[in-house]
Amino acid sequence: MKKQTGIHLPTHRPLTTVDVVIFTVKEDQLQVLLVQRGSADQEPFPGCWALPGGFVNVAQDATLLDCALRKLHEKTGVQAPYLEQVGSWGGAGRDPRGWSATHVYFALVPWQEVQAAAHTNVSDAQWFAAEKCITMKLAFDHHELFQATLERLRSKVEYTSLPAFLLPEPFTLPQLQHMYEVVLGRPVDKSGFRTRMLAAEFLQEVGTVQSDAPRAPMGYRLQHREAPVYFPRTFSPRGAK
Amino acid sequence: MKKQTGIHLPTHRPLTTVDVVIFTVKEDQLQVLLVQRGSADQEPFPGCWALPGGFVNVAQDATLLDCALRKLHEKTGVQAPYLEQVGSWGGAGRDPRGWSATHVYFALVPWQEVQAAAHTNVSDAQWFAAEKCITMKLAFDHHELFQATLERLRSKVEYTSLPAFLLPEPFTLPQLQHMYEVVLGRPVDKSGFRTRMLAAEFLQEVGTVQSDAPRAPMGYRLQHREAPVYFPRTFSPRGAK
DNA sequence: TCAATAGTGTCTATCAGACAATATTTG
DNA sequence: CAAATATTGTCTGATAGACACTATTGA
């Protein structure tokens, strides 16, 4: 229909942003980092809680992933966590400043690393329980982004080793099981859990580890920190439909 | 359009595009629609095959999905197929014209609908076998986009009803099984297939249907055309790891 | 009655889930 | 040895896959 002759670059370009849903498990709860928007004039949603994110900086970010890593580091001080793209949302109506498209990532960060970074002094950032977050009004369409991301996380935890990225190494199987239980919000059978984890062959024994437990548990590390392992089946209690 | 009230909007905005991987099954093969890029001066990758796509038009497209539907319709004449987002790719290096981010979708279209649209006269568009396409050099990073999309499709077909969107209604179970076999590239057991499909309760009987078969098979329709059904498990032959 | 395809039955190895038992360490 | 937690063992119901069988129709 329209044949391009010569260079035709669009005169009106959408705004391009990246938003990151940063998860951690703190105090036996799945928690999410939100930032409070400034109150400067004309800023949309002033004072409102929002997902950490912002405009892609074409001078600074070589890729979208780099941009997400930058946002993450700015807000948490954490360097190399697990980061995965959820998808993108774009349209004319989602930002009052104009047609915009955002690329959404989620990150899994061990709480201990966040503490170590001691960067949480970012005054406008705060951790919220995921359940709480669901009920909050967020800036832009961030409620929708967050809901989709939480669903993605929960469903993927059913058949992957993702929760391992919420723990500092070395970790023990009971600790890992606890991460699963927190994210899934339900208890998981001990025995089945162990056989499943060991069968997946993504853990490396690294010697027993000190803990407050009477019996010293085995410590493990991940063989590959880049990507999670996919289990052949889903966790599913007998009664589940 | 953009109100300048001293707000700091980025002066350099990335290019925003949408690319669509359009799949169909034609002649017992999974095929993909590619378009040949024009040879006008200064156009990048002149004469090269590429995924159908292009810039978001902020005046025309209300959302990214609308933009994808538009691209799809322009190239095939098809109106409402199955469309799903794969993800987004963005960076400084992927388009010589500047920092760009593309939003990738894939579509499943029954071949019969493409024929009916009789729109295939789009001279610069052509269907290629997916296997062939993998070996081709494509414009931009489209090879990577296509590969990721094909992987997504194949893996998702293992546990969803996606192949149903490759058939016009009403269709028969043997026909549906054939779609699975073509996409997965391996035979599927008849009996297990049938029980799985019927157990998933996403099909509606609509009476037996004429075919070239000696015995008239039952015809089915989808109960919901919006989204596929997720099976509790994956297809997996005994020997599979 | 045969050919060809649609559809059903059945057997079995596998295995996840449930629960119970045992091992190990500290006080 | 008691308490607490880590780790292993066993039983069983469910089921996916393999394969063989029956059903239906037209020539």
Q: What are the backbone angles phi and psi of residue B42, rounded to the nearest 5°?
A: 70, -5
**Nearest nt to the A189 alpha carbon by C1':** C17
- Taking CA–CA distances from B200, the nearest residue in chain A reads A241
What six digits make up the tokens of A170?
Answer: 């070395």
Q: State whether the beta carbon of B131 lies below 7 angstroms from any atom of strand D.
A: no
pLDDT of B185-197, one tens digit each? Answer: 999 999 999 999 9
Whether B22 contacts B105, CB under 8 Å = no
Whether B201 contacts B186, CB under 8 Å = no
Closest-CA residue to B164 (of B231, B105, B69): B231
Give yes or no for residue A40 having a pLDDT over 90. no
Q: What global pTM score does this model have? A: 0.93
Q: Cα–Cα distances in Å, from A96 out to A43, A140, B4, B10, B62?
A: 9, 9, 12, 15, 14
Nucleotides on strand D lying under 7 Å from protein C-beta: 3-10, 16-20, 23-26
Predicted local distance difference test score (pLDDT) of residue A80: 79
Judging by DSSP bridges, how do beta strands B171-172 and B49-50 pair with one another? unpaired
What six digits make up the tokens of A35?
Answer: 């930032």
Predicted local distance difference test score (pLDDT) of residue A1: 44
Output Rg (C-alpha) for chain B, integer angstroms.
20
DSSP state, residue A230: B
Q: How many helices (H) and strands (E) does chain B have?
A: 6, 10
**Nearest nt to the B213 alpha carbon by C1':** C5
Query: How far, in Å, CA of B20 to CA of A192, rounded?
Result: 42
Predicted local distance difference test score (pLDDT) of residue A21: 98
Average pLDDT (A193-201) is 95
Give yes or no for residue B114 having a pLDDT over 90. yes
Predicted local distance difference test score (pLDDT) of residue A211: 78
Q: Cα–Cα distances in Å, from B106 out to A106, B65, B87, B162?
A: 22, 11, 10, 12
Closest-CA residue to B152 (of B54, B23, B51): B23
Kindly indicate the confidence band of residue B198, based on its pLDDT and cuts at 50, 70 and 90. very high
Give yes or no for residue B40 having a pLDDT over 80. no
Reduced to 3 states (helix: H, G, I; strand: E, B; else coil), residue A31 is: strand
Q: Mind listing the domains of chain B with CATH numbers?
A: 15-156 (3.90.79.10), 162-222 (1.10.10.10)
Give yes or no for residue A158 having a pLDDT over 90. yes
Average pLDDT (A197-224) is 91
- Could you count the other beta carbons within 10 Å of the beta carbon of residue B60? 9
Verify cis geometry, omega within 30 degrees of 0, for the bond prior to B170. Answer: yes
3-state secondary structure string, A98-133?
Answer: CCEEEEEEEEECCHHHHHHHCCCCCCCEEEEEHHHH
Whether A12 contacts B59, CB under 8 Å = yes
- Reported in sequence order, the residue ranges of A47-172 that DSSP labels E, i.e. its strands, are 49-50, 53-55, 82-91, 100-108, 125-129, 171-172
Give yes or no for residue B5 having a pLDDT over 60. no
Whether A28 contacts A101, CB under 8 Å = no
Q: Which residue has the higher pLDDT, B43 or B18?
A: B18
Of all residues in chain A, the percent with pLDDT exceeding 90 is 80
Q: Cα–Cα distances in Å, from B53 out to A145, B34, B110?
A: 25, 10, 20
Tell me the pLDDT of chain B averaged across its residues: 92
Q: State whether the beta carbon of A215 lies below 7 angstroms from any atom of strand D.
A: yes
A13-17, B31-35, B77-81, B237-241: lowest mean pLDDT where? B237-241
Give yes or no for residue A41 having a pLDDT over 80. no
State how far residue B90 is from chain A, nearest Cα, in angstroms.
5
